Structure 1
């Protein structure tokens, strides 16, 4: 593994943490643990930020705005991933040359064990969790987190032998020193256009994952993940894809297999995950596992048993012949297209779309919808734009109303799929809350009908 960063928190005396919540609290705890003499101040633009009741008594908190004087006095600023580096309050900090980092950069300063990391527009949570399961099946003490589950800094100091991190483009913007044994860029599609000036800027943030990586893992079927990359001469590229790449599908004895370097590992029919997109996720996970020496036995065990994360094509119930599926994690168009690809439905698809599309082009959904017998139920902020996809679409205000409308129309053999193609923040605190609400609505509907 390449040498770890030589930076240390002890270089700094006055540290400002911008943004509280789960990540901000993990940063405060970590700084307090590793630099007891630091003066830590926390600010949050929200009046009542989550986690404020968990702050130590000796940590000052400012809420409702950004405190300019605190920023001027700081010699290190640690920002929450949700805060853009273009935030006007940070302009004087940039001008003064004060370092601005995120929690993943702090992780890089202190991590001394192998790390693999995953980014991409879609599928990164599934691949992250799957690699973690592969490591566990191989007897490796692994820490899994980052943009999924446990904050990265909370994974340190626990005796883990390996770390598997999901990293968003927001986290990568403030990360410069992270050394990775394996780095995967799964796919690239339009998202977060409310944060970035262009798709090129969004892609550039994603590509930062390769900066100090030994093995670069990219999608042979998506040139945006590997074209025009300036790589370290010590690095090697590994590609995964359905029909080409170091990790791809091959046919053996008339059956499709997941294979590494031409050697079959597991038949697709034995994969625990459902859907064509999860075949690609499995191939990417194999490449990452090989980059840190996870055994093929462990890879096979996890690939055949891991059934996926909640809110990602999660089967909720089958009632009166209708299958209800929760894919609330589909917060952009590409995620919904992935869910639609290769669906095998006896009857009609009832698709629930809605939320805040963040400026996305919903017309990109039309090719995926054109191949299906589908009814659309559109809700939330961008319901009108989504309903324009089909002149028979039903337009409602809330997810509750969309579920009711779909339940009224669905018949035995049909599927009702929540795959919104939008963020949830217009009506819910996050995609998981939206998914939980969907599950509750389905369970309530079943209870009323039985």
Structure 2
């Protein structure tokens, strides 16, 4: 990290990411100034106590933060909008200053750690000793250093990779190497025995005929080269990130999970470096804010789970939002794509025409709710009413497939596990499981132990989290569903095999609620509306033919939903809105929902269905 030494750095924003960048830059010798639009942000006391050398500037951002100063680089916190940062960022770029964020610093750190440490051999030392003697006519008059190596400049500590952190080879995804859930494996047919040692590698035999002794070449030093798995998407990021980390761990690899999920990228890297415990695999949750404008980030594999309307106030429009998401793939990372999402599939570059060869398409894996049709892809197969997670393999496992080749091949499906064996519920979570498997396989993880990990994973709080079953009606907390896309995914996922009574509403953030109409019409028995923007949602759903009812409180909404639900149904809190009109945050909203459900647990209903309810559709 020598590029930071004595570099004057400006960090915009003193949130969790801004503080992490300040810690990292100071750690590596930078002169740090932190600016925040607030005069006294909550992290200010921590900054002053941990980093007394750092300078803090509070108040509105202006060009004066960089013009006429010693600042030579600007790093931005992801929570700040482009409009707020514009007075600084535009001037910085106009005068040629690099502008980045925490992900840029993380990517640069991995690049620095990938440089092999300098290791001197005995031959090098002997050569230096001979040169020293040749240059010294009278050796008795010169005192040789006790340890010449100690006087040489050591490589940076960050580049010294411990023996326990051997690099993880970036795995080529070939179908015949991936059927690892099977009990046995056949050796590759094209493996050849090791060639005999060459003449140069064998010491000559002595006169008595002793066998020659092979000269073993010392291994060449290697830098730190972990697998990096990156996850983004409008919805499902945290679930897939957490699940991928668990699967990699079950497969026996050292793993670190960081990013938007917490803790921060740089704090996690610093802690693992200090502990001399660098992971074999990084699993990173990345937001569109973190990805916007990033340079030099090259993951082993990355996934965009889905793209639906969100954060348009930050990005401006859907096209800019999708382009920010697509930056997660870098220039050469394996692309893991949701084939059910047209916007995601459009991120795959067109095939490249190569003279006298088939067109070459970028290496990618897809997953979706249908059957996979390419070797290596994942999907769902329905057999006799049961949904299975499956993976496609080449029908002829002895034929190797060139990575990226555009070919039509016969496939067979490997059934991995029934979707009902997952503890996370809904079809959308089955797709999340497939995405996590695809990522972990790309890091060289074996399928068999990961399937056990899938069965163990119980999900994240407030993300279609089961709460209770009352009178054969299951209640789910999806309070984290704060946008339309999240609610569509939850409703569609649960609605595959049951009817749903949906609790919707709150602060709509100016969203278009019309995408809710089709899944509500298909899967909902009734909708209970709460919060400030309930009338706007009601207007969007007026043509669905589904019963719409208003409730003044969460308790009233839960009671109304329980009356509407039939045995076998689900009651789903998935508001598609922010919570601040009625609650402190989404966690508080979830707590009130769960308390209301608990009241029902303590006094389950005994009355029949409402008069206006018919049989399950």
The question of a shared fold, defined as TM-score above 0.5 by the shorter chain, is answered with yes
Matches of 1:329 and 1:172 in 2, distance apart?
22
Q: 2:388 aligns with which of 232, 249, 257?
A: 257
Matches of 1:424 and 1:297 in 2, distance apart?
41
- Deviating more after overlay: 135-144 vs 222-231: 222-231
Q: 1:140 aligns with which of 230, 253, 260?
A: 253
**CA distance 1:345–1:221, shift in 2 (3 Å):** closer
Partner of 1:405: 557
| 8 Å contact kept, 1:220–1:244 | no
Alpha-carbon offset, residue 68 of structure 1: 4.0
Alpha-carbon offset, residue 168 of structure 1: 1.1
Q: How does 1:226-265 map to 2 (within 5 A)?
A: 226-227=345-346, 229-230=348-349, 235-242=362-369, 243-245=371-373, 246-250=377-381, 255-261=386-392, 262-265=413-416
Partner of 1:439: 594
2:214 is the counterpart of 1:62: no
Matches of 2:389 and 2:464 in 1, distance apart?
21
Matches of 2:83 and 2:242 in 1, distance apart?
32
| 8 Å contact kept, 1:8–1:109 | no
Partner of 1:197: 316
Matches of 2:16 and 2:604 in 1, distance apart?
39
Partner of 1:94: 93
Partner of 2:102: 103
| 8 Å contact kept, 2:231–2:302 | yes
| 8 Å contact kept, 1:12–1:75 | no
Q: Give structure 1 stretches of 5+ with no counterpart.
A: 1-6
Alpha-carbon offset, residue 366 of structure 1: 0.8
**CA distance 1:383–1:115, shift in 2 (3 Å):** same
2:339 is the counterpart of 1:187: no
- Aligned pairs, number: 439
Q: 2:241 aligns with which of 128, 134, 137?
A: 128
RMSD over aligned CA atoms reads 3.0
**CA distance 1:382–1:97, shift in 2 (3 Å):** farther
- Deviating more after overlay: 11-20 vs 286-295: 11-20
2:423 is the counterpart of 1:266: no
* Structure of greater relative contact order (alpha carbons < 8 Å, 6+ residues apart): 1
SS of 2:308's equivalent in the other structure is coil
Matches of 2:361 and 2:66 in 1, distance apart?
39
- Deviating more after overlay: 167-176 vs 53-62: 53-62
TM-score, structure 1 normalization: 0.87
| 8 Å contact kept, 2:516–2:541 | no
Partner of 1:303: 454
Matches of 2:477 and 2:320 in 1, distance apart?
31
| 8 Å contact kept, 1:79–1:102 | yes
Please list the CA deviations of residues 341-385 of structure 1 after superposition, one character each: whole Å capped at 9, or x if unmatched: 143699974422223333321011011111245433333443321
Matches of 2:467 and 2:47 in 1, distance apart?
37
Partner of 1:178: 297
Matches of 1:425 and 1:123 in 2, distance apart?
22
Partner of 1:32: 26
Matches of 1:424 and 1:298 in 2, distance apart?
39
| 8 Å contact kept, 1:345–1:415 | no
Q: How does 1:136-175 map to 2 (within 5 A)?
A: 136-157=249-270, 158=272, 159=277, 160-175=279-294
Q: 1:294 aligns with which of 445, 450, 466?
A: 445
**CA distance 1:404–1:63, shift in 2 (3 Å):** farther
SS of 1:317's equivalent in the other structure is strand
Matches of 1:312 and 1:12 in 2, distance apart?
45
Partner of 2:576: 421
Q: 1:356 aligns with which of 507, 510, 532?
A: 507
Alpha-carbon offset, residue 308 of structure 1: 0.8
| 8 Å contact kept, 2:12–2:34 | yes
TM-score, structure 2 normalization: 0.65
SS of 1:55's equivalent in the other structure is helix
**CA distance 1:84–1:439, shift in 2 (3 Å):** same
Q: How does 1:368-387 map to 2 (within 5 A)?
A: 368-387=519-538
Alpha-carbon offset, residue 435 of structure 1: 3.0
**CA distance 1:103–1:373, shift in 2 (3 Å):** closer
- Deviating more after overlay: 368-377 vs 16-25: 368-377
SS of 2:366's equivalent in the other structure is strand
SS of 1:341's equivalent in the other structure is helix
- Deviating more after overlay: 322-331 vs 202-211: 322-331
Q: 2:16 aligns with which of 14, 22, 34?
A: 22
- Deviating more after overlay: 241-250 vs 315-324: 315-324
Matches of 1:425 and 1:177 in 2, distance apart?
38
Which of 1 and 2 has greater Rg? Answer: 2
- Deviating more after overlay: 82-91 vs 98-107: 82-91
| 8 Å contact kept, 2:368–2:379 | yes
- Deviating more after overlay: 426-435 vs 216-225: 426-435
Partner of 2:206: none
Please list the CA deviations of residues 183-236 of structure 1 after superposition, one character each: whole Å capped at 9, or x if unmatched: 111112121121222211111111111123431111122232132544897951
SS of 1:24's equivalent in the other structure is helix
| 8 Å contact kept, 1:428–1:434 | yes
Matches of 1:235 and 1:348 in 2, distance apart?
41
**CA distance 1:204–1:323, shift in 2 (3 Å):** same
**CA distance 1:60–1:374, shift in 2 (3 Å):** farther
Alpha-carbon offset, residue 172 of structure 1: 0.3
Matches of 1:429 and 1:31 in 2, distance apart?
35
